[in-house]
A and B are shown apart, each in its own frame.
Chain A
Amino acid sequence: MAVDRSDIAKLANLARIQISDEAADEAAKSISDVLALVDQLQAVNTDGVLPMAHPLDAVQRLRADVVTEPNQRDAFQAIAPATQDGLYLVPQVIE
């Protein structure tokens, strides 16, 4: 399936990526090429085949519901672009 400039604009917004008009045309072409490649999948009969998420069909390991990790807020916030009083700063959200 081919995508056009307006599809790209919609996807880019969903993915929170800015794309200029010229870049959108180029992206529409290259992404249409990729979609043409993956459209080969549509011709395959997969009736009764279960989707495969893990090669060994592993299931989530469970553990006791106890605290295992120490608080490392300082270490994590040391690499944040902007923090104050132990909180991450973002532009004002609520008027």
Chain B
Amino acid sequence: MHQFTIAELVKGLRNKDFSSTEVTQHYLDRIARLDSTYNSYITVTNDIALQQAAAADKRLAAGNAPALCGVPIAHKDIFCTTGVRTSCASKMLDKFIAPYNATIVENYLNSGVVMLGKTNMDEFAMGSSNETSWYGPVKNPWAIDCVPGGSSGGSAAAVAAHLAPAATASDTGGSIRQPAALCGLTGIKPTYGRVSRWGMIAFASSLDQAGILSRTAEDAAILLNDMASFDAKDSTCVERDVPDYTADLNKSLKGLRIGVPKEYFGEGLNPQTAKLVEDAIKVYEGLGATIHSVSLPHTHLAVPAYYVIAPAECSANLSRFDGVRYGHRCENPTDLNDLYMRSRSEGFGAEVKRRILVGAYALSAGYYDAYYSKAQKVRRLIKQDFVDAFDSVDVILGPTSPSPAFQFGSKSKDPVAMYLEDIYTIATNLAGLPGLSIPCGLVDNKPVGLQLIGNFFAESQLLNAAHQFQQATNFHQQSAPGIE
């Protein structure tokens, strides 16, 4: 049953081939049996899942259930869930039970989707390896000594190990696409503002965007239909109708103009990864697309601009953790300053502290113009590169990550080396564009991701291009060794 895609589960539930309770119990059994190896879940919500499954079965029997009713998924532990711990993988929120649901959680509840649990992640979504979680690292099902990517590493490992058919995730600089690449999955980060950020614990508010990790582009399209919505509670959410993302999946790619940026194939790219991306380009040519060389001249500035903007917004957002209203509070504070100091120092891990300090530096008097304001200007130049490129092409194609999954500890001592892991994904967040990653082959038995970047609100076109690639190839059907 855990071989089924979301599309197959939807069909099977509707045809009464199996009940939601059966599917849900099957997944809960697998999690109990196998997740000690991967550590992909922080919290498994057995009772809630079975209650929701029973309710979904009633709606299905009544015959008027929404499409996704009864389908179980996992939520990244960054999304607030009423009555269930939302930790953001931080000691700071180890005992935090949100008094409300994130909008995307609420959207899925309304659709009858069942929550299996909350997945592990880098602390406050700050990391590219899932090594900064307070609950311990997540193991990559493809190579147990390697990272699953981050920050949505738990969501990715859970789907790759068939401990959930799909999972929600979030992406500030590559946190959906890079784990998708490293775990052989499909991962989509929609346009900034397409999905509500309400109830998604903030890291860098002008970059954060929720999305999906799944096995196929078709599954991502089905799930995005219910995740995306206009939400007045998120002031940056865009007021725009949500199309049916499955409508264009089967469109021919004849005449699709694909741009390949030369800057994405330079120094630092693993030659075997480059070869697989070039093979994927040939697949697209075979499907009728035309390939064009494009230039994104400010690409090398994306990581520097990001590591000013993201820490600056992080230091502002994380100032809310004060030991007073919620979250960790130190024992016996002597005065107010001691309460702030010790609660924050005990609650946050090393990478979170580092980013808060970098952000405080970039925002401090005398440095604001040189760092923050400068980075915001460079951000516009990076966006303009994409605007210019989309004058002549429909979709931009390149690698998702410079190389396949790396070993634990190999980059965690050197923050700059870790930051460069997101060199191809970060520009998309700075520009606000949608991006996705799909599997395009293996290097040393580890998956490689192909990245597609679309114009603003062109999610349907991206999913169409990804789905057609998956109709012509079987990389997305490969499972990690030992995962039946």
A interface vs B, CB < 8 Å? Answer: 3, 7-8, 11-12, 14-19, 27, 30-31, 33-42, 44, 46, 49-56, 58, 60-61, 63, 72, 75-76, 78-82, 88, 90-93
Interface string of B416-436 (1 = CB under 8 A from A): 100100000000001111000
Pick the residue among A38, A53, A63 that contacts B307 (CB under 8 A).
Answer: A38
Pick the residue among B304, B354, B374, B379 that contacts A31 (CB under 8 A).
Answer: B354
Chain A residues with Cβ under 8 A from B438's Cβ? none
B17 at interface by CB-CB < 8 Å: no
Interface string of B191-228 (1 = CB under 8 A from A): 01100000000000010000000000000000000000
Compute how far the CA of A51 lies from the CA of B375 in the bound complex, rounded to whole angstroms. 8
Pick the residue among B333, B348, B353, B381 that contacts A46 (CB under 8 A).
Answer: B381
Pick the residue among B336, B370, B456 that contacts A93 (CB under 8 A).
Answer: B336
Sample of 20 further A-B pairs with CB below 8 A, known A46-B374, A54-B192, A79-B99:
A7-B361, A11-B357, A14-B364, A15-B356, A17-B357, A18-B341, A18-B345, A37-B307, A46-B377, A51-B373, A51-B376, A55-B431, A56-B193, A61-B232, A61-B235, A63-B232, A79-B97, A82-B329, A88-B325, A93-B335
Compute how far the CA of A91 lies from the CA of B375 in the bound complex, rounded to whole angstroms. 39
Chain B residues with Cβ under 8 A from A81's Cβ? 323-324, 326-327, 329
A35 pairs with B193, CB closer than 8 A: no
Compute how far the CA of A53 lies from the CA of B323 in the bound complex, rounded to whole angstroms. 30
B300 at interface by CB-CB < 8 Å: yes
| 9 A-B pairs in the complex with CB atoms less than 8 angstroms apart | A17-B341, A34-B415, A54-B192, A55-B193, A76-B326, A81-B323, A81-B326, A91-B333, A91-B335
B334 pairs with A40, CB closer than 8 A: no
A56 pairs with B353, CB closer than 8 A: no
B416 pairs with A33, CB closer than 8 A: yes
Q: Shortest beta-carbon distance, B204 to chain A, in Å?
A: 12
Chain B residues with Cβ under 8 A from A63's Cβ? 232
Q: Shortest beta-carbon distance, A32 to chain B, in Å?
A: 10
A-B contact count (CB 8 A): 169
A42 pairs with B370, CB closer than 8 A: yes
A72 pairs with B99, CB closer than 8 A: yes
Interface of A is mostly: loop
A17 pairs with B348, CB closer than 8 A: yes
Compute how far the CA of A2 lies from the CA of B308 in the bound complex, rounded to whole angstroms. 15
Compute how far the CA of A31 lies from the CA of B157 in the bound complex, rounded to whole angstroms. 31
B interface vs A, CB < 8 Å? Answer: 96-99, 192-193, 206, 232, 235-236, 238-239, 298, 300-301, 303-305, 307-308, 315, 319, 322-327, 329, 333-342, 344-345, 348, 353-354, 356-358, 360-362, 364, 370-371, 373-381, 383, 414-416, 419, 430-433, 456
Chain A residues with Cβ under 8 A from B98's Cβ? 79
A52 pairs with B335, CB closer than 8 A: no
Chain B residues with Cβ under 8 A from A50's Cβ? 377, 380
A51 pairs with B99, CB closer than 8 A: no
B238 pairs with A44, CB closer than 8 A: no
Chain B residues with Cβ under 8 A from A88's Cβ? 324-325
A34 pairs with B307, CB closer than 8 A: yes
Pick the residue among A51, A55, A80 that contacts B377 (CB under 8 A).
Answer: A51
B341 pairs with A91, CB closer than 8 A: no
A14 pairs with B381, CB closer than 8 A: no
Known: A16-B344, A54-B236, A78-B99. A41 touches B376 (CB 8 A): no
A58 pairs with B236, CB closer than 8 A: yes
Compute how far the CA of A31 lies from the CA of B244 in the bound complex, rounded to whole angstroms. 45
A91 pairs with B336, CB closer than 8 A: yes
Chain B residues with Cβ under 8 A from A56's Cβ? 192-193, 238, 432, 456
Q: Shortest beta-carbon distance, B433 to chain A, in Å?
A: 8
Known: A37-B303, A38-B308, A46-B378. A8 touches B357 (CB 8 A): yes
Chain A residues with Cβ under 8 A from B376's Cβ? 51-53
Q: Shortest beta-carbon distance, B198 to chain A, in Å?
A: 13
B193 pairs with A58, CB closer than 8 A: yes
A11 pairs with B381, CB closer than 8 A: no
B348 pairs with A35, CB closer than 8 A: no
Chain A residues with Cβ under 8 A from B232's Cβ? 61, 63
